[in-house]
Chains A and B, each alone.
Chain A
């Protein structure tokens, strides 16, 4: 389904590539020169590439619930909900759709990284690992987004809350600077922020190669996805009314 929609409208792929390019070029190049942020011996642009990758996957996943609200307004969700199909199937189906989009985004950013000659540890394993993590990230945030959609129900309220949440999720994570240089209160948020886990895992795989806490982070992420799927499944029927 999702792949078919993308084929219908490939321009979307292009427009979505623009933002990460700007981030990497402007932010990345500048801070690499001034060396203001302690990155543990790697160039800043390499440090932030996994951050930008996870950020762009976050942005497309977190607004994924919008499709749900759209379908609700059209009466499609109501038709689905009256079918003899387990509700979890709808949630999992959407999650996979989000994963497909996430992967397409990851491919774009990896290509960018090649073009910009970011020093990344390229190997079959690191590419597969990245794709795996991107799938997990898209799964978690699209479920989160579906939960918000089920609670908000209208486009306006959903967009409002989506915008309010996205920026803090991004800045209170280790996406563009290490947690250690944040103020204490921000560190607390960053440590429980699932986006931080994603960034840490990606950074291990793509940049540092130091696999500290990786299993723990992956485990936490999978646990959170399971919880989010269950909540999303329970809330999904609210879209009928």
Chain B
């Protein structure tokens, strides 16, 4: 469904992506795992048509980036890293704006919104202001926003960063359901090892703009000859995953908290 080949992205001197290649099959839940600055966000933004690659190509559902960006937008849904729903509106209004933007008519809107609200399990809260939502609920609302036009592919950038364990689990459940019931293809990024392990069919470990290894969590651990993904990461990259990442992480969590006030 998604095929990335020799993708490069330079920001002036910084080599954010240094020639990565991977493939996500239809109906697969694929994870990009890596520490801060690995290039995860950059990859997802290129695939979401937001920024052009410096070099290389991406094929999605038979179309190519950046040439066919306008067509590709019809079958991708993108959930960015920052929580960005409008806190001063209700969940329903947030969904309504997006439904109108993507051109659904009145009856389609009702049907689509009701279905997604039920799927996300936010039915009791749709008429409340989003600033009263928990982080997990905002995230699920945003996933619903990205799904209104029925995309085949869902792209999520660190969907559970800054969430408490229970919320994190509820987001996992939603993604699993999407995969099982709707046969969605899902690409997500994370820097939580246990998330990658619990959720993803296959993982690509990224570090410094390169892909270190691709495979199922089990394959990766076997190949590294260790018992946990954490250890596999250290063996394969020669350093710890969370190294130096704490400040950024904290900043993001704060940002999330602020959004919700």
- Which residues of A approach B to under 8 Å, CB–CB? 1, 8, 74-76, 78-85, 89, 237, 240-241
B73 A84 Cβ-Cβ under 8 A: yes
- Tell whether A89 pairs with B84 under 8 Å between CB atoms, given A82-B50, A84-B149: no
Q: Are A75 and B80 in contact (CB under 8 A)?
A: yes
Given contacts A75-B80, A75-B81, A75-B82, contact A83 B73 (CB under 8 A): yes
Binding-face segment, B98-106, B199-207, B241-249: B98-106
Contact of B103 among A85, A240, A241 (CB under 8 A): A85
Interfacial residues of chain B within 120-148, with CB under 8 A of chain A in the complex: 142, 145-146
Alpha-carbon gap, A83 to B259, bound state (A): 22
Bound-state Cα–Cα, A80 to B88, Å: 18
Please classify the interface of chain A as helix (H, G, I), strand (E, B), loop, or mixed, using the class held by over half of its residues. helix
CA gap between A240 and B97 in the complex, in Å = 20
Q: Are B51 and A82 in contact (CB under 8 A)?
A: no
Measured CB to CB, the closest approach of chain B to A138, in angstroms, equals 22
With A and B bound together, what is the CA distance between A1 and B97 in angstroms?
A: 9
Q: How large is the interface on B (under 10, 10 to 19, 20 to 34, 35 or more residues)?
A: 20 to 34
Instruction: Point out the residues of chain B lying under 8 angstroms from A81, CB to CB.
Output: 49-50
B21-49 with Cβ < 8 A to chain A: 45, 48-49
B54 within 8 Å of A (CB atoms):
no
**Contacts A241-B50, A241-B51 given: A82-B73 contact, CB under 8 Å?**
yes
CA distance A75 to B78 in the complex (A): 11
How far, in whole Å, are A215 and B70 apart by their CA atoms in the complex? 38
Contact B88 A74 (CB under 8 A): no
Q: B177 contacts the other chain (Cβ, under 8 Å)? A: no
Residue B76, interface by CB 8 Å: yes
Cβ-based interface call for B223 (8 A): no
Beta-carbon nearest neighbor of B70 in chain A: A84
Q: Are B84 and A75 in contact (CB under 8 A)?
A: yes
A73 to B187, CA, bound (A): 24
Q: Which residues of A contact B49 (CB under 8 A)?
A: 81-82
> In the complex, what's the smallest C-beta–C-beta distance from A204 to chain B, in angstroms?
39
Cβ-closest 8 pairs across A and B: A82-B78, A75-B82, A75-B84, A240-B50, A84-B73, A84-B74, A82-B48, A75-B80
A89-B103 Cα distance, complex, nearest whole Å: 11
Give Cα A241–Cα B146 distance, bound, in whole angstroms: 19
Once A85-B101, A240-B45, A240-B50 are accepted as A-B contacts, the answer to whether A79 and B76 lie under 8 Å apart by CB is no
Complex contacts, A80 vs chain B, CB 8 Å = 101
